[in-house]
Structure 1
Amino acid sequence: MNLSHLASRLDNIVPFHVMELAKMAAALEQQGRHIIHMGIGEPDFTAPPLVIEAATRAMSDGKMQYTSATGLPALRAAISAHYHRTYGLDIAPARIVVTAGASAALLLACAALVEKGAEVLMPDPSYPCNRHFVAAFDGRAKMIASGPAERFQLSDDMVRQHWGADTRGVLLASPSNPTGTSILASELRKIIDTVRSKDGFTIVDEIYQGLSYDAEPFSALSLGDDIIVINSFSKYFNMTGWRLGWLVLPEQLVPQVEKLAQNLFICASSIAQHAALACFAEDSLALYESRKAEFKQRRDYLVPELIALGFKVPVIPDGAFYVYADCSALSDDADRLVKEILNQVGVSMVSGLDFGPHTAKQYIRLSYATSMENLQEAVRRLALFLGKA
Structure 2
Amino acid sequence: MHNNLASRLLNIAPFHVMELAKMAAELEKEGRNIIHMGIGEPDFTAPQVVIDAAARAMQNGNLQYTSALGLPDLRLAISKYYLEYYQLTIPASRIIVTAGASAALLLTCAALVDPGSEVLMPDPCYPCNRHFVAAFEGVARLVECGPEVGFQLTDELVREHWTTASKGVLLASPSNPTGTSIPRAELAKIIATVKAKQGFTIVDEIYQGLSYDDEAFSALSLDGDVLVINSFSKFFNMTGWRLGWLVVPERIVPQIEKLAQNLFICPSTVAQYAALACFSNEAMKIYQQRKAEFKRRRDFIVPALRKLGFKVPVTPDGAFYVYADCSGFSDNADLFTRDLLQKAGVVIVPGLDFGSYTARKYVRISYATSMENLQEAVLRIENYLRQQ
TM-score above 0.5: yes
Confirm or deny: 8 A CA contact 1:70 1:261 kept in the other structure.
yes
- Which AA in structure 2 matches 1:280? F
Q: How does 1:144-223 map to 2 (within 5 A)?
A: 144-223=143-222
Other-structure match for 1:267: 266
Other-structure match for 1:99: 98
Other-structure match for 1:128: 127
Other-structure match for 2:364: 365
Other-structure match for 1:25: 24
Other-structure match for 1:258: 257
For the residues of structure 1 that align with 2:84 and 2:330, how far apart are their CA atoms? 46
Percent identity (aligned)? 68
- Which AA in structure 2 matches 1:30? K
Other-structure match for 1:115: 114
For the residues of structure 2 that align with 1:135 and 1:334, how far apart are their CA atoms? 26
Provide closer, same or farther for how the CA distance between residues 42 and 163 of structure 1 changes in structure 2, counting only shifts above 3 A: same
Other-structure match for 1:326: 325
Task: Provide Cα deviations, 1:92-129, integer angstroms capped at 9, x if missing partner.
Answer: 00000000000000000000000100000000000000
Determine helix, strand or coil for the equivalent of 1:230.
strand
Determine helix, strand or coil for the equivalent of 1:209.
coil
How far does residue 35 in structure 1 lie from its aligned partner after superposition? 0.2
For the residues of structure 1 that align with 2:387 and 2:227, how far apart are their CA atoms? 47
Task: Provide Cα deviations, 1:206-260, integer angstroms capped at 9, x if missing partner.
Answer: 0000000001120000011100000000000000000000000000010000000
Confirm or deny: 8 A CA contact 1:86 1:217 kept in the other structure.
no
Other-structure match for 1:231: 230
Task: Provide Cα deviations, 1:66-111, integer angstroms capped at 9, x if missing partner.
Answer: 0000000000000000000110000000000000000000000000
Determine helix, strand or coil for the equivalent of 1:218.
coil
How far does residue 388 in structure 1 lie from its aligned partner after superposition? 7.9
Other-structure match for 1:288: 287
- Which AA in structure 1 matches 2:230? N
Task: Provide Cα deviations, 1:282-336, integer angstroms capped at 9, x if missing partner.
Answer: 0100000000000000000000000000000000000000000000111110010
Within the alignment, does 1:245 sit opposite 2:244 as a pair?
A: yes
For the residues of structure 2 that align with 1:292 and 1:388, how far apart are their CA atoms? 36
Q: Which runs of 4+ in 1 moved over 4 A?
A: none
- Which AA in structure 2 matches 1:144? V
5+ residue gaps, structure 1, are none
Other-structure match for 1:139: 138
For the residues of structure 2 that align with 1:33 and 1:170, how far apart are their CA atoms? 43
- Which AA in structure 2 matches 1:134? V
Task: Provide Cα deviations, 1:146-177, integer angstroms capped at 9, x if missing partner.
Answer: 00111000000000001001100000000000
For the residues of structure 2 that align with 1:328 and 1:253, how far apart are their CA atoms? 46
Determine helix, strand or coil for the equivalent of 1:172.
strand
Q: How many positions carry a matched residue from both structures?
A: 388
For the residues of structure 2 that align with 1:55 and 1:161, how far apart are their CA atoms? 49
Other-structure match for 1:38: 37
For the residues of structure 2 that align with 1:225 and 1:27, how far apart are their CA atoms? 48
How far does residue 138 in structure 1 lie from its aligned partner after superposition? 0.2
For the residues of structure 2 that align with 1:328 and 1:345, how far apart are their CA atoms? 18
- Which AA in structure 1 matches 2:337? V
For the residues of structure 2 that align with 1:349 and 1:244, how far apart are their CA atoms? 26
For the residues of structure 1 that align with 2:216 and 2:118, how far apart are their CA atoms? 31
For the residues of structure 1 that align with 2:35 and 2:315, how far apart are their CA atoms? 23
Determine helix, strand or coil for the equivalent of 2:101.
helix
How far does residue 4 in structure 1 lie from its aligned partner after superposition? 1.5
How far does residue 380 in structure 1 lie from its aligned partner after superposition? 0.4
Q: How does 1:79-98 map to 2 (within 5 A)?
A: 79-98=78-97
Confirm or deny: 8 A CA contact 1:54 1:278 kept in the other structure.
yes
TM-score by length of 1: 0.99
